[in-house]
Amino acid sequence: MSASKDRSANGVSQRLLEWYDRSARTLPWRSPPGKPPPPPYRVWLSEVMLQQTTTAAVAPYYARFLERWPTVEALAAAEDADVMAAWAGLGYYSRARNLLAAARAVAARGSFPDTEDGLRALPGVGAYIAAAVVAIAFDRRAVVVDANVERVVARLFAIGTPLPAARKEIRAGADAITPDERAGDFAQAMMDLGATICTPRDPRCLLCPLAQDCRARAEGDPARFPVRPAKKAKPTRKGAAFWIERVDATGRSVWLVRREGKGILGGMRALPDDGWSARADGFGVPSGDWHHAGTVRHGFTHFDLELSVHVSRAAQPDGEGEWWPVERIEEAGLPTLFAKAAARALG
DNA sequence: TACCCGTGGCA
DNA sequence: TTGCCAAGGGT
Residue A6 reports pLDDT greater than 60: no
> Thinking of the domain A236-345, which architecture would CATH place it in?
Alpha-Beta Complex (3.90)
A310 pairs with which residues across the strands?
A242, A292
CA of residue A164 to C1' of nucleotide C6, angstroms: 17
- In chain A, what percentage of residues exceed pLDDT 90? 89
Listed as ranges, the nucleotides of chain C within 7 A of a protein C-beta are 3-11
Answer whether any strand B atom is within 7 A of the Cβ of A266: yes
Distance between alpha carbon A139 and the CA centroid of its chain, in Å? 23
Answer whether any strand C atom is within 7 A of the Cβ of A49: no
CA of residue A44 to C1' of nucleotide B10, angstroms: 28
Answer whether any strand C atom is within 7 A of the Cβ of A30: yes
Residue A283: CB atoms within 10 Å:
13
Answer whether any strand B atom is within 7 A of the Cβ of A91: yes
| Nucleic strand C contact set for A 211-230 (CB, < 7 Å) | 228
For the question of residue A327 being annotated catalytic, the response is no
* pLDDT grade for A58, boundaries at 50, 70 and 90: very high
CA of residue A231 to C1' of nucleotide B8, angstroms: 20
Listed as ranges, the nucleotides of chain B within 7 A of a protein C-beta are 1-9, 11
* pLDDT grade for A2, boundaries at 50, 70 and 90: very low
| Burial environment of residue A196 by CB neighbours within 10 A (0 to 12, 13 to 18, 19 or more) | middle
Among A37, A87, A48, CA closest to A65: A87
Residue A10 reports pLDDT greater than 90: no
The pLDDT tens digits of the residues spanning A283-292 come to 666 667 899 9
The pLDDT tens digits of the residues spanning A105-121 come to 999 999 999 999 999 99
Using the C1' atom of nucleotide B10, identify the protein residue whose alpha carbon is closest.
A201
The pLDDT tens digits of the residues spanning A154-188 come to 999 999 999 999 999 999 999 999 999 999 999 99
Q: How many residues does chain A have?
A: 347
The reported pLDDT for the residue numbered A7 is 41
Answer whether any strand C atom is within 7 A of the Cβ of A196: no
Q: Which of A18, A47, A73, A169 is flagged as catalytic? A: A47
* pLDDT grade for A34, boundaries at 50, 70 and 90: confident
Name the residue ranges covered by the structural domains of chain A: 3-224, 236-345
Answer whether any strand B atom is within 7 A of the Cβ of A342: no
Answer whether any strand B atom is within 7 A of the Cβ of A280: no
Query: What is the average per-residue pLDDT within A58-70?
Result: 98
The reported pLDDT for the residue numbered A286 is 67
Q: What is the pTM of this model?
A: 0.95
Look at strands A304-312 and A291-299 and give their pairing: antiparallel
**What is the rounded distance in angstroms from the CA atom of residue A102 to the CA atom of residue A79?**
14
Cβ neighbors of A134 (< 8 A, separation 6 or more) are: A114, A115, A116, A119, A140, A142, A183
The reported pLDDT for the residue numbered A9 is 58
| Burial environment of residue A201 by CB neighbours within 10 A (0 to 12, 13 to 18, 19 or more) | exposed
The pLDDT tens digits of the residues spanning A204-259 come to 999 999 999 999 999 999 999 999 988 888 999 999 999 999 999 999 999 999 99
Query: What is the average per-residue pLDDT within A27-32?
Result: 96
| Topology (CATH level 3) of domain A3-224 | Endonuclease III; domain 1 (1.10.340)
The pLDDT tens digits of the residues spanning A132-154 come to 999 999 999 999 999 999 999 99
* pLDDT grade for A201, boundaries at 50, 70 and 90: very high
Residue A5 reports pLDDT greater than 80: no
Answer whether any strand B atom is within 7 A of the Cβ of A321: no
CA of residue A34 to C1' of nucleotide B3, angstroms: 41
Asked if A246 contacts A311 with a C-beta cutoff of 8 angstroms, the reply is: no
**What is the rounded distance in angstroms from the CA atom of residue A321 to the CA atom of residue A193?**
48
A253 pairs with which residues across the strands?
A246, A325
CA of residue A2 to C1' of nucleotide B5, angstroms: 41
The pLDDT tens digits of the residues spanning A294-323 come to 999 999 999 999 999 999 999 999 899 999
